[in-house]
Amino acid sequence: MIMENTKIKINKNKNEKGQTLLFVIVTVTIATAVGVSVSTRTIQSLKRVARTDTSARVIATAEGGIENLLSRNYSQLDKAVYDGVNPPDCTAIEAETGPEAGTCAYVFNKDGAEDLISSRAIITVGTFSSNEGNGYSFTTEPGSIKEVNLDGYRSGTIKICWVSNQAAIYYSSYNSSGGVKKGGIQPAGFANRLYLSNKFSVENESNSNPSYSLCDTVQLVSNPYGLRIKVLYNSSKVAVFPTSGSLPTQGYKFTSRGEIVTGSGGEEKATVIVHRSYPYAPDIFDYGIYTPTTLSGSN
């Protein structure tokens, strides 16, 4: 009987050791699975943060190139314009020669000394005469003025289109000799028509661009130099389209391609395009255009 009890105790101890080993294996397996899951989530989160940071950096680099160009005066920009033949003078805008023909470069972190990421903006300075089809579009607020350059425009008419049927258009064209031709356009059935001058015509044309439901062709002064446009009552997007040929140059077109190279050798790019119009007199000077007679005064 004593020997039998001893065998039973030995077998019982062996069973308990087997159960303990199984428990340890299950616990380690669960802990490993949880650890792998947490690690995977952490790595994915770090990758998302890295991608977001990289995206923000490359966009900021491209915008940095644009901001640098916007701070330049017109004589500097004229020297940096690429005409497709002659290389731009990159030194005029304090930039380096770019990697492609016609480009310049602003290098922001050349050696990557701060965080092993080098960045640069590859910029191109050009000119533009249209930014929407063959027309020049812009958005204006009531009371503000927008001028379209017509120096060199050979047609005696031009088409003005706008979007809001709650806005009217006042326009005036002028030439270098002091000649002025002005008028207004209002939508058909315009609610505020009783308050407008009888010189305001009613728009009566359609446009091939479906974005604009209100259009009219207006007469210009002879040999026009500029066309000044105001919207009345409500803000609206406005576009000017040539009735013959094309519009003259309206300003500069800036293209900035941001590039960054990370410490691992990866490269990211983003492009920003900005149009900058030529300068023109603010609306405070319009009294000289809208006044029907010569202003005179005495001390």
Report the candidate in 156, 173, 166 with the shortest Cα–Cα distance to residue 214: 166
Checking if the pLDDT of 292 tops 80, the result is: no
**Single-letter amino acid, residue 169:** I
Checking if the pLDDT of 95 tops 80, the result is: yes
Q: 59-68, 82-91, 100-109, 266-275: lowest mean pLDDT where?
A: 266-275
Contact between 67 and 258 under an 8 Å Cβ cutoff? The reply is no
Instruction: Provide the pLDDT for residue 178.
Output: 84
Report the candidate in 135, 142, 147 with the shortest Cα–Cα distance to residue 289: 147
What is the mean predicted confidence (pLDDT) over 197-219?
Answer: 76
Q: Domain coordinates of the chain in residue numbers?
A: 1-129+249-281, 136-246
Cα 250 to its chain centre, rounded Å, is: 17
Does 136-246 carry CATH code 3.30.1820? no
Which residues face 171 on adjacent strands?
183, 229
Q: 2-11, 197-206, 220-229: lowest mean pLDDT where?
A: 2-11
Residue 257 and residue 58: Cα distance in Å, rounded? 9
Checking if the pLDDT of 113 tops 80, the result is: no
- The two three-digit tokens of residue 17, written as one number: 């050791």
What is the mean predicted confidence (pLDDT) over 174-189?
Answer: 87
Contact between 117 and 57 under an 8 Å Cβ cutoff? The reply is yes
Name the pLDDT band for 169 (thresholds 50, 70, 90): very high
- pTM for the model stands at 0.72
| Phi, psi (deg, nearest 5) at residue 5 | -60, -40
Q: 16-30, 51-65, 76-90, 132-146: lowest mean pLDDT where?
A: 16-30
Instruction: Provide the pLDDT for residue 198.
Output: 62
Checking if the pLDDT of 296 tops 50, the result is: no
In angstroms, what CA-CA distances link 70 with 10, 80, 275, 277, 280? 89, 13, 10, 11, 16
Strand ranges across the sheet with 157-162: 136-140, 236-242, 157-162, 214-219
Render 153-174 in DSSP notation, one character per residue: ---SEEEEEES-TT-EEEEEEE
Name the pLDDT band for 200 (thresholds 50, 70, 90): confident
Q: What is the largest CA-CA distance in the chain?
A: 139
Residues with Cβ within 8 Å of 58's Cβ and at least 6 positions away in sequence, in order, are: 119, 258, 259, 260, 268, 269, 270
Contact between 256 and 46 under an 8 Å Cβ cutoff? The reply is no
